[in-house]
Structure 1
Amino acid sequence: MTKRLAIVLTEGYADWECGLLMATARHACQATTVVLTPGGADVTSLGGISVTSAGKAEDARPEDFDVLVLCGGTIWQSAAPPDLSAPVERFLAAGKPVAGICDATLALGRMGVLDTRAHTGNHAGQLPETVPAYRGQALYRDQPQAVTDRGVITASGAAPVTFAREVLTAIGLGSPELLDYLAMYSNEHRPARD
């Protein structure tokens, strides 16, 4: 059966954070990616790319998708970020993974999801500074790669490669060939040879 990824994009979403995941899922894995947005509104990325929504993020159901992915963007630090606690709770209760990258980790922090799971984010101080109720400091992993713990995947905005790897692996699409393909995108961080 074809895997289906619910990709939540918001107004001002960060273009690079889910782009590799979406392209790899569709092209290399023959999966289906479905863009959902808060309220079902069309959105525009930080880079100016306009995206038509396929539906309301609030209505995402685990029986329709294999994973719920929250893309980062400016809205998660705003005074009125969207409340996606209902779909997140549904996915976790059904044993389906939930992933958040960059500032979308703030949404997971507001829901209390990160209080009991190993996780990462943009930097160690961001969650406690931005989310007063956050209690997961002892479980924060200050590392550049994505972190997966009990169905929750987190990453900084600078880790779209390991984020893609963790999401695809979590839904059963990981393979040595796929991991080699994704690793190619991080080769620029290796020291140059003379």
Structure 2
Amino acid sequence: MRPPDGDGGAETVVLTPGGADVTSLGGISVLSACKAEEALSGDFDVLVVCDSTIRQTGAAPDLSAPVGRFVEAGKPVAAIRDATLELARLDLFDTRAHTGDHSGQRGKLVLHDRGAVHYRDQPQAVTDRAVITASGAAPAIFAREILAAIGLGSAELRDYLAMYGDEHGAAKG
């Protein structure tokens, strides 16, 4: 995402493995702008690795090159739900706090998982050194963290998105 000149918004560019157009599990057709493997950190403000159940298998596409380029450049990399498995396999959680959906079974899904000690079992998103993670229960807070990481956060946006994340707050009374 990169904000267009002057309006403070963000542009979303979809990149897919191999550059192929895809259809989501929900039946939404998505056109790819180019190959995800070729994403350069200088061309984008953040890399968001999308959720996909294929990441629970050995058939997931290899995104280590673009993820590595973004991490090396200090650019944000974000993953939600099953996409967090990709980052765990790349050892990004060895020294970073993170969350996701697979605390109980991640050891079976990610060989040599050394980041379990840094796992935060919480519904809120976690950001640690430009790596943003969230469980599937926190899409609004995940989006807030991404926008804040690229300088598009604001008090108004925080307040608006907090309305959707309030169910994750501590019980009162």
Query: TM-score, normalized by length of structure 1?
Result: 0.81
Which aligned pairs between 1:1-194 and structure 2 lie closer than 5 A? 4=2, 29-187=8-166
Query: Structure 1: which amino acid aligns with 2:100?
Result: G
Query: Do the aligned partners of residues 125 and 90 (structure 1) sit closer, same or farther apart at CA in structure 2, a change above 3 Å counting?
Result: same
- Contact kept, 8 Å, 2:124 with 2:168, in 1: the verdict is no
- Contact kept, 8 Å, 2:37 with 2:63, in 1: the verdict is yes
Deviation at residue 156 of structure 1 after TM alignment: 0.7
Gaps of 5+ in 2: none
Gaps of 5+ in 1: 6-27
Q: Separation in 1 of the partners of 2:2 and 2:113?
A: 31
Aligned length, in residue pairs: 167
Query: TM-score, normalized by length of structure 2?
Result: 0.90
- Contact kept, 8 Å, 1:4 with 1:34, in 2: the verdict is no
Cα deviation per residue 1:63-98 (whole Å; 9 max; x = unaligned)? 100000011111111221111011111001111010
Identity of matched residues, %: 69
Q: Separation in 2 of the partners of 1:188 and 1:115?
A: 30
Deviation at residue 132 of structure 1 after TM alignment: 1.5
Partner SS state of residue 65, structure 2:
helix
Higher relative contact order (CA 8 A, sep 6+): 1
